[in-house]
Structure 1
Amino acid sequence: MKLFFLLLAFFTFTFSAQIDVKLYDKANSNNYYQEIENIINKSKTENTKADEIINEEKTHLKKLIEISTKKVSIEEFNLNLLKDEKVSSNTLIKALLHLSNIKVKSKKQNEFKNDIQNKLSFLKKAIENITEDKKNFLLSYQLQFAYYKLLIVDIEDRILLFSTHEKELENSIISSIKKVVIKDVELIEKELSKINENVNKLLLQKAAFEIELEKEIINENKNNIELSKTNINKIETLYQNELLNSIKFLSKKVVYSLKNSDEKEFLKIYNEIEKLIVDITSDNKSVYLEQNILFKSIAKQIFGNTKLFISDSISQSKDYLLQIKDKLTSTLFVFNEQAISFISLLKSLFLIFIGFTIGYLYKKWIYKLSTKWPNMSQMSLKLSANVGYYLIVLITFMIAMSSLGIDMSSISLIAGALSIGIGFGLQTVVSNFIAGIILMFERTIRIGDIIEINNLITGTVSDIRIRSTTVKTFDNIDIVVPNSSFIQNNVINWTLDDATRRLHIPFGVAYGTKVEKVKEVIIKELLESDLRFLRNDENKLPEIRLSNMNASSVDFELLVWVKANDRLKPNALKSDFLILIYNSLYKYEIEIPFPQLDLHLKKK
């Protein structure tokens, strides 16, 4: 095992090579390149290497000689054009584009340098770790490595030249902005307007050709497909040209805004250019991006960072508000071929809320008026309040629907279709609703009336609504009764026309008691008592009637009239009258009978 590692180390050391630095040493390169050329020719004569390898070596050597003698230079802008007392906007735009090109090229050179550096790393490993089977490629690797080394030197020199000229040109541009001659402002606006019209037409034509292309793809017509694609490409080319023209004219407006120190106008046009650049698909896109960045850099130096930041923040805030507006006005869904946006939906909901609020305030106003007109019945008050409330809500609902752009005739059709479902599914609700309207107009039941329904519910009506009526029992329990119950069932209204009611209080005495004495005693004690009943109405005086003669007693009935207020506790009243009767009978020693059975025993 040790022997294996020793042999491996020996072969590695034997066949490894070092980088030939003389190949990229420009001071002594010419003579050394001649020696390398002789070595290559000798290899060809002696046929020690394959022709492919020799051809590679010759190509690499040729490229190496060329790059070693080549001088690095860049295209510079004539700075004297910017030193005149008056500078045209076209000259300044050309200078800006040239500077933008320099920045783009400088970035590309840096990217290119990184790629070359990766290749150098690979070649260095290949040379230093070359194996026996690859030794014929050693010279080719060395020549390639030297070429890339010199190429990196050229790139670095070019980047340095770019950087130097970039600073000079940028300073010249900034100093010449105040010398720019402003002219043809109206012409620029006309040209931009014309370009916008052309852009809109081109977009329509492109859409038409795209629709035609989809049609031809479905029909699988290859000739027409290619024709449509060609037309779309032509339109796209024209569209790109119009975009570039628009940017050219807008760039002039940017220069004018910089000269006039108008930061608001600058930011407005700057943002317009930024939006146009997004649609550019050609290689010029990166140049115009750099130009826009350059505009902002110059603006910071002219306006100052703080001032530009504030204006930019205001501009961005406006943009955000516009974006929010676009979101709010964009279509959420479509109803009956009418686009419904979030803002329109919000507006309609707000109108409905306003309707409910006005309805509520209307109700409060009606109740407030009732204090000024105490003679107004509670039923009329409720009717006016409820009908007005629902009418206001209905009107505002229709206005809200109209604000959405929904035709109310379509709503009526839908309502007609739904009426079938309402007839079956909501039959009870509709029945109660209609019954509530009937009760409000007929006024057979009013707030404050004492009613009895089917001997089950007895109490005072405390509230009447469209769907139901609230009845407060004598035990102070609120019972919500559907309005249809008042239409379908027998209802006793104790206070419909007259606010008085006659109570029937039964009692009995023993056989043998004189009827006249019973009547005289009870009536006398009743009139002398402080019990509440009608005393002064000749037609409604209390009286006693003989109602029955039972097995154990003679039954009488006290008939007494009481007022509505006294009827709120009818059981208590009945109890008071019975106590009076009992005490009166006891006072005058009138026997009160009770059931008894006499048993007679017969002796045999």
Structure 2
Amino acid sequence: MKLTDNSAQNPAPRKLVILFFLIVFGIEIFGVKVPNILAVEPDGKLYSEQTAERDAAYKLKAEQLAKKIATVTDEKEKQGFLVQQQLLIKLDALSDKPEKPAIDLLFSEQNIPKTLSWQDVEQYLERYVGVIQEAKISAQNLENSEKQVQTLYNRLIALDDHDPQQEILQLQYAFQVRKVAQQNEIDKYLKEGMEIAQKQYPAVLAHIHLDQKTIDKQEKVRNQAKKKLQGLEDEKILATAGNDVLLQQQESLLAGYLGRELSDDERKEMHYEQLKSLKQQLQQLITDDHIHEATIGFLEEEQKNIWFHLLAEKPDFFTLTDLSGNINKQIMLLRKKTEKAHSLIYTYEKNLSTLRGGNALVGPKAEELINTLDENVRTVFTLLSSIDQRAEMLDNRGRLLDRAIDLKQSTFGFMVTKTKEATDNIFEKILSILKYPLISYSGMNVSLLLFLQVIIVLIFGIIVNRLYGHVVSRMGKNRKWSEQTVHLVQAFGKYPFVFIVAMIMLSVVGINTRSLALVAGALSVGIGFGMQTIVNNLVSGIILLFDKSIRPGDFICLGENSSPGGFRGNVVQMNIRATVLRTNDNINIIVPNADLMASQVVNWTYSDERVRFRIPFSVAYGTDIDRVKRLIKEAVLGLPVVMPEPEPQIWMASHAASSLDLLAAIWVEGQNARQPAQISDIVLTCIYKTLQKHGIEIPFPQMDLHLRAAERQPTDITAIPETLRFNVFREAATQ
């Protein structure tokens, strides 16, 4: 049976399918919204700008709701109609012309007096700032209302025409649209007031004149405010230590209740101690708020002082601009502190709510203390509210001050000042971007600035470490230090510096290194016992550094003079903890420095690269010794590894049981001195060939057996060992 592809013959269905998927994917990718045919559209008559059309829509809607309320039997449905009726009443009550805030700038542009006192200007500034604050609040309300309108619109068009909720949303949407229209009118009115104030501002500044006496008087007031602030800060510093001790005592008392079952009396006492601890914390917060209040007072007087110097005859615009900028920065810092204080007071209020009256475990003393804490909380809230309002007022007056500085300057001075201010702002913005927290964990903010600080400290540490190594290398070269000395001096300075850099990096990150020091001190005793071997090796390495009895490149034996009894090889590396020994078999042996200090070490190349080897050999009894010495001496002198000077010596070592033992004492140097096994092989091979060439017997162990005639007895020859039997027969044959 043959299958055919119908799609190939008729490509139209395939094209339709492809077109369908392209449309679907286009909708998903590009966010194209397909209109819902059954979606509800807002009823424009409910918020029409035409009063007659709107009133007719309200009247018709009211009649429909009245009929539905009268005829409906379902309580739930009736409740929905009642809600619509209330919304319609509120909607109808909205006025086309909203109540506008009063704008009174004290005087108009036409009737400004020729001479203004500072009190007049201050009153004008206060009203000007009031307009600015009203405009800011109005703009924020308008933005919130527009967001609500958009939210209601999205909810409305998502419903079907038959959804019962759409009637309520229609009324809510119409109400918010009309509120936005009212808010736009208010915002427009306030902007007009701002424009009027801005036009008046230069004329007001031109009509004020201050004498030097007034300026000096203000300078004294400013100094008094600064002195008051300094006094409060000093009192806080003196009281901080005592408060910290009290808090630690309270924490210790509270810790004593943990980990065991408590009776009711103990729980009451614990709650009381918790309240006392909370009281100490609130007292600190009240002290901080009083300092904030004094700070805002000082900033007000400082700003007024800038005003007075600006309105003098020859103001220093650069200095005044810097002072005004500093005030703005301090206001920002003060706001951050008050935000933190708000967070703390909310936390304390939450903690206090769990310990308030009504709890059976709260005793009479605790009740009285709770009342005191409630009063303290109210005091803190009042202080913070006052500080926030004064900071807002001061901030707005600061903007007016900056504009006054610009207006007072010439065109060129204005350009110079603005250029300097823009440059300062660029650095401040860059710094604020770098300080922006990317990650927050356990109260620690990780920012780009923190990363940069860590990287800079790390790069600085690497550069200084390499510079230190370079300096030590050059110093060692100039003073002819050994390679081992240079290496150990570098290591001796490297590790403490790495520790210091690590501590600096931890401090930059925000980790308290004091706590690490306390932990290290607590663990040092226990760790000292466990690390005594390591410390011993480190100290031994430092001693070897200055002792110079062992250096890299030396050929040493550790334990015994030969490899079967110990380690023998070249010293290839000396570290602060251990020394690396490489044998002639190319095996690296790591020897702790303490072992080098405690055991006997034979250094073959300590002062000279020449070494004398004593190579033993034997000849038979009856051999001409003088001839043997002459022949062997001539033979070894012909070897290239043997030094001619000092010349080799052939010594009689002993009369052994079966041979005459001799020693060939030869001198070698350089690399040959580090290969004792190879040298022994070369010399012994030469001796063997020389003795064999000249027919000199090399003996082997033998034993002579003498039998006395009186004591001769039959002997079983087979009981005698084969070697001994052979020697006996050989002796008998020679005799």
* TM tier relative to shorter chain: 0.5 to 0.7
Paired residue type of 1:369: N
- Structure 2 CA distance for partners of 1:354 and 1:394, relative to 1, 3 Å: farther
Deviation at 1:247, TM superposition (A): 1.9
Give the % identical residues: 17
Cα deviations by residue, 1:48-72 (Å, 9 ceiling, x for unpaired): 9xxxx9xx99xx99x98x9799884
Question: Structure 1: how far apart are the matches of 2:645 and 2:172?
Answer: 131
Q: Which residue of structure 1 lines up, in the alignment, with residue 110 of structure 2?
A: 84
Question: Structure 2: how far apart are the matches of 1:492 and 1:406?
Answer: 47
- Contact kept? 1:96, 1:173, Cα under 8 Å: no
* Pair 1:472-2:582 in alignment: yes
* Pair 1:320-2:433 in alignment: yes
Q: Which residue of structure 2 lines up, in the alignment, with residue 43 of structure 1?
A: none
- Say which structure, 1 or 2, has more relative contact order (CA 8 Å, 6+ apart): 1
User: Which structure has the greater CA radius of gyration?
Assistant: 1
Question: Which residues in structure 2 correspond to 1:63-142 (within 5 Å)?
Answer: 72=97, 74-75=99-100, 83-84=109-110, 88-100=124-136, 103=139
Q: Which residue of structure 1 lines up, in the alignment, with residue 296 of structure 2?
A: 196
- Structure 2 CA distance for partners of 1:385 and 1:362, relative to 1, 3 Å: farther
- Structure 2 CA distance for partners of 1:486 and 1:241, relative to 1, 3 Å: closer
Paired residue type of 1:478: N
3-state secondary structure, aligned to 1:256:
helix
* Pair 1:542-2:649 in alignment: yes
- Contact kept? 1:470, 1:481, Cα under 8 Å: yes
* Pair 1:386-2:488 in alignment: yes
Cα deviations by residue, 1:19-65 (Å, 9 ceiling, x for unpaired): xx9xx9969x99xx9xx99xx9xxxxxxx9xxxx9xx99xx99x98x
Question: Structure 1: how far apart are the matches of 2:424 and 2:191?
Answer: 27
Question: Which residues in structure 2 correspond to 1:41-56 (within 5 Å)?
Answer: none
Question: Structure 2: how far apart are the matches of 1:392 and 1:164?
Answer: 70
With 215-224 and 110-119 compared, the bigger mean Cα shift is at 110-119
- Contact kept? 2:632, 2:650, Cα under 8 Å: no
Q: Which residue of structure 1 lines up, in the alignment, with residue 712 of structure 2?
A: none
With 497-506 and 463-472 compared, the bigger mean Cα shift is at 497-506
Which structure 2 residue ranges, 5 or more long, are not aligned?
1-45, 72-77, 113-120, 227-291, 299-333, 408-419, 703-725
Paired residue type of 2:667: W
Question: Structure 2: how far apart are the matches of 1:386 and 1:241?
Answer: 66
Question: Structure 2: how far apart are the matches of 1:417 and 1:259?
Answer: 64
Aligned residues: 480
* Pair 1:369-2:501 in alignment: no
Question: Structure 1: how far apart are the matches of 2:421 and 2:519?
Answer: 59
* Pair 1:461-2:571 in alignment: yes
Question: Structure 1: how far apart are the matches of 2:172 and 2:622?
Answer: 148
Deviation at 1:255, TM superposition (A): 2.5
Deviation at 1:357, TM superposition (A): 4.1
What TM-score, normalized by structure 2, do the two folds share?
Answer: 0.48
- Structure 2 CA distance for partners of 1:259 and 1:326, relative to 1, 3 Å: farther
- Contact kept? 1:26, 1:68, Cα under 8 Å: no
Deviation at 1:518, TM superposition (A): 1.9
3-state secondary structure, aligned to 1:459:
strand
Paired residue type of 1:364: S
Paired residue type of 1:84: Q
- Contact kept? 1:99, 1:169, Cα under 8 Å: no
Question: Structure 1: how far apart are the matches of 2:150 and 2:371?
Answer: 41
Deviation at 1:246, TM superposition (A): 3.0
Question: Structure 2: how far apart are the matches of 1:522 and 1:91?
Answer: 123
Equivalent of residue 665 in structure 2, options 541, 556, 559: 559
- Structure 2 CA distance for partners of 1:566 and 1:317, relative to 1, 3 Å: closer
3-state secondary structure, aligned to 1:253:
helix
- Structure 2 CA distance for partners of 1:149 and 1:473, relative to 1, 3 Å: closer
- Structure 2 CA distance for partners of 1:178 and 1:413, relative to 1, 3 Å: closer
- Contact kept? 1:463, 1:469, Cα under 8 Å: yes
Paired residue type of 1:581: I
For the aligned residue pairs, the C-alpha RMSD in angstroms reads: 6.5
- Contact kept? 1:206, 1:235, Cα under 8 Å: yes
Deviation at 1:594, TM superposition (A): 7.1
Paired residue type of 1:361: H
Q: Which residue of structure 1 lines up, in the alignment, with residue 395 of structure 2?
A: 250
Q: Which residue of structure 2 lines up, in the alignment, with residue 267 of structure 1?
A: none
Paired residue type of 2:678: A
Equivalent of residue 426 in structure 1, options 503, 526, 531: 531
Deviation at 1:464, TM superposition (A): 3.1
Deviation at 1:162, TM superposition (A): 4.0
- Structure 2 CA distance for partners of 1:237 and 1:464, relative to 1, 3 Å: closer
Q: Which residue of structure 2 lines up, in the alignment, with residue 229 of structure 1?
A: 374
- Contact kept? 1:546, 1:556, Cα under 8 Å: yes
Q: Which residue of structure 2 lines up, in the alignment, with residue 181 of structure 1?
A: 205
Deviation at 1:532, TM superposition (A): 2.4
- Contact kept? 2:555, 2:605, Cα under 8 Å: yes
- Contact kept? 1:436, 1:465, Cα under 8 Å: yes
Q: Which residue of structure 1 lines up, in the alignment, with residue 601 of structure 2?
A: 491
Cα deviations by residue, 1:270-322 (Å, 9 ceiling, x for unpaired): xxxxxxxxxxxxxxxxxxxxxxxxxxxxxxxxxxxxx9999977654332345
Deviation at 1:236, TM superposition (A): 2.1
- Structure 2 CA distance for partners of 1:317 and 1:250, relative to 1, 3 Å: same
Deviation at 1:355, TM superposition (A): 6.9
